[in-house]
Amino acid sequence: AQKYVLTKYFQGEPKKSDFKIVEEELPELKDGEILTEAQYLSVDPYMRAYMIGYKLPTDMIGGQIAKIIASRNKNFPVGKYVTASFGWRTHTVCNPEEPPSLGFLPLTLVPEVKPHPVSLALGVLGMPGNTAYFGLKEICRPKAGETIAITGAAGAVGSHVGQIAKILGCRVIGFAGTDEKCQYLKEIGFDHAFNYKTADIRAALKEGAPKRVDCYFDNVGGEISSTIINFMNKNGRVAVCGSISSYNDNMLPKATILQPALVFKELQIEGFLVNRWIDRWEEGVNANLNWLHEGKLQYKEKIYHGFDNMVEALVGILRGENTGKAVVKVK
Ligand code: NDP
């Protein structure tokens, strides 16, 4: 068994030398416990941002899909898959009622998703899917006919938010970092998609949102967010989900004056963490599963290969290599 231990705080992009891969001895299984083997590990932007607050050295956080390979718990038989926050490790021994908590994901059995891959439990049927579902429904609270803008739109959360917003009858405008990603967003139903690296953002907003923006799902922060917020309608709602544009700067705050827009348009702007809805987790997964079965929810995965390539995968998503959810296939 192996695990990643973070030994240095990230400076700029994460580096392999910030980690040590450590061999682990696994304990004997006690009554009620299971032994799992990681199949897919998740890489998520929060990993870059969160590790700033940890005391080092520390086990690397993260969700994974693992196969139960030994069990002394009849509710969790050998051969089944679980998702859990086991961190970046190949094997885990735990009692499923008291799992390790190295991340955002509760321990659950992976729902039957055939013909789709089990890895969806890290994407549309997992933490990003629930972030999209609850962040949109509970914070943006879009009504049919309203216009929603989404940044980080081609990623795991953003691409999902846009599709739910279409299901709810909204006009959807997305911003992503390449023309190919924008093309994909149009294929999955976005009304407009703009490459934020080449477009004039105000002109894009005028074209894509002629009635201005009612809801903004903010995955990136920074200047583009200020431009969008200043383009919103009265009583608009902003769900602040992430600020990936500043994660590699160790979150140095950048001053932007937003108060006039907030005051005169009486905007509601609210940050959230998806674990706020941990008690409603299944509701989100089931809603997303139903939309998937109905063919209303499409997804893409960017699959990296090998436990040794975790850092490359994490850097990859921070650089925008992924469309949809990025995961690492362990073997
Ligand atoms: P993504 O799949 O969206 O991957 C990250 C994407 O961010 C990249 O593909 C890249 O796409 C984009 N990106 C990278 N750097 C920049 C930049 N400087 N400016 C704008 N975009 C950039 O990740 P997730 O869907 O998993 O997460 C999206 C956001 O949601 C993140 O901010 C994350 O922290 C947040 N999040 C928050 C949660 C919560 O509970 N609040 C839970 C889960 C996620 P591109 O090519 O378009 O630049």
Query: Using CA atoms, how far apart are residues 145 and 158, in angstroms rounded to an integer?
Result: 19
Q: Across all residues in the chain, what is the average pLDDT?
A: 96
Q: How confident is the model at residue 143 (pLDDT cuts 50, 70, 90)?
A: very high
Q: Which atom of ligand 1 is nearest to the CA of 319?
A: 14
**Predicted confidence (pLDDT) per residue in 288-303, tens digit:** 999 999 999 999 999 9
Residue 113, pLDDT > 90, answer no
Percent pLDDT > 70 in the chain is 98
Query: Using CA atoms, how far apart are residues 100 and 82, in angstroms rounded to an integer?
Result: 13
Q: Coil, strand or helix: which one is 321?
A: coil
**Predicted confidence (pLDDT) per residue in 15-65, tens digit:** 999 999 999 999 999 999 999 999 999 999 999 988 777 899 999 999 999
Percent pLDDT > 90 in the chain is 91
**Residue 168 token pair:** 């709810």
- pLDDT, residue 50, reads 82
**Residue 182 token pair:** 């924008």
**Predicted confidence (pLDDT) per residue in 1-14, tens digit:** 999 999 999 999 99
CATH code that applies to domain 2-118+301-329 = 3.90.180.10
Residue 216, pLDDT > 80, answer yes
Residue 187, pLDDT > 80, answer yes
**Predicted confidence (pLDDT) per residue in 236-252, tens digit:** 999 999 999 988 887 66
Q: How is 11-44 classified by DSSP, letter by letter?
A: -SS--GGGEEEEE-PPPPPPTT-EEEEEEEEE--
The HSE-up count of residue 11 (CA atoms within 13 Å, CB side) is 3
Q: Are 267 and 232 within 8 A, CB to CB?
A: yes
Pocket test for ligand 1, best of 119, 133, 157 (most atoms within 8 A of CB): 157
101's CB contacts (< 8 A; 6+ apart) are: 85
- pLDDT, residue 252, reads 64
Q: How confident is the model at residue 114 (pLDDT cuts 50, 70, 90)?
A: confident
Query: What mean pLDDT do residues 313-322 have?
Result: 98
Residue 181, pLDDT > 80, answer yes
Which residue's CA lies nearest to atom 48 of ligand 1?
Answer: 177
Residue 255, pLDDT > 70, answer no
Pocket test for ligand 1, best of 104, 196, 226, 244 (most atoms within 8 A of CB): 244
Delimiting residues of CATH 3.40.50.720 domain(s) in the chain: 127-275
> Distances from the Cα of 150 to the Cαs of 140, 196, 259, in angstroms?
11, 11, 21
Single out the residue of 31, 40, 46 nearest to residue 65, CA to CA: 40
User: Quick one: 127-275 is in which CATH superfamily?
Assistant: NAD(P)-binding Rossmann-like Domain (3.40.50.720)
Query: Using CA atoms, how far apart are residues 116 and 114, in angstroms rounded to an integer?
Result: 5
Residue 315, pLDDT > 70, answer yes
Q: What is the CA radius of gyration of the chain?
A: 20
Q: Which residue type does 330 have?
A: V
Q: Which atom of ligand 1 is nearest to the CA of 244?
A: 32
Q: What was the ipTM of the complex prediction?
A: 0.99
Q: For the stretch 188-225, what's the b/e string if a residue is b when 16 or more beta carbons lie within 10 angstroms of its beta carbon?
A: bebbbbbbbeebebeebbeebbeeebbbbbbbbbbebb
Which residue's CA lies nearest to atom 5 of ligand 1?
Answer: 317
Which residue's CA lies nearest to atom 16 of ligand 1?
Answer: 245
Delimiting residues of CATH 3.90.180.10 domain(s) in the chain: 2-118+301-329
Q: Are 129 and 284 within 8 A, CB to CB?
A: yes
- pLDDT, residue 3, reads 98
Query: What mean pLDDT do residues 116-136 have?
Result: 97
**Predicted confidence (pLDDT) per residue in 60-95, tens digit:** 999 999 999 999 999 999 999 999 999 999 999 999
Q: Which residue type does 149 have?
A: A
Question: Residue 265: is it exposed, middle or buried by C-beta count within 10 angstroms (0-12/13-18/19+)?
Answer: middle
Which residue's CA lies nearest to atom 8 of ligand 1?
Answer: 320
Residue 104, pLDDT > 90, answer no
Phi/psi-derived region of residue 103, left when phi > 0, alpha when psi is between -120 and 50, beta in every other case: left
